[in-house]
Amino acid sequence: MPGRKTPPSARTPERAFGLAVKALRDKRGLTQEALAHKAGLHPTTISVTESGLRSPSLRTMTKIAEVLGVEASAILRRAEAILKRSR
């Protein structure tokens, strides 16, 4: 349909992880900028992580998870579930 955006694919682990982070961030009412500030990261880091353009380091994952109030493993489990649904 013209003008309608296609939902972004979650077929890569990077994108699925990004979607999991975004869902948790939205649930907590945080902007990318607020999450970045609280985690001590640059806003671009959050943006490229959520878009699946970059795989975050373990350190970055744990910083994001801490701000979101979850364990890093919880984000990974959510990402795995997103990947399963996209197949």
DSSP string, 24-43: HHHHTT--HHHHHHHHT--H
Tokens matching residue 25: 């961030």
What's the pLDDT tens digit per position in 56-87? 999 999 999 999 999 999 999 999 999 999 88
Q: Where along the chain do its domains lie?
A: 13-81
Q: Averaged over 32-60, what is the pLDDT? A: 97
State the pLDDT at residue 21: 98
The pLDDT confidence band at residue 27, using thresholds 50, 70 and 90, is very high
State the pLDDT at residue 4: 41
State the pLDDT at residue 8: 56
Assess whether pLDDT exceeds 80 at residue 3: no
CA angle 63, 33, 81 (to 5 degrees): 55
The pLDDT confidence band at residue 6, using thresholds 50, 70 and 90, is very low
CATH of 13-81, one of 1.20.1260.10, 1.10.260.40, 3.40.50.300, 3.30.420.40: 1.10.260.40
Neighbours of 20 (CB within 10 A): 24
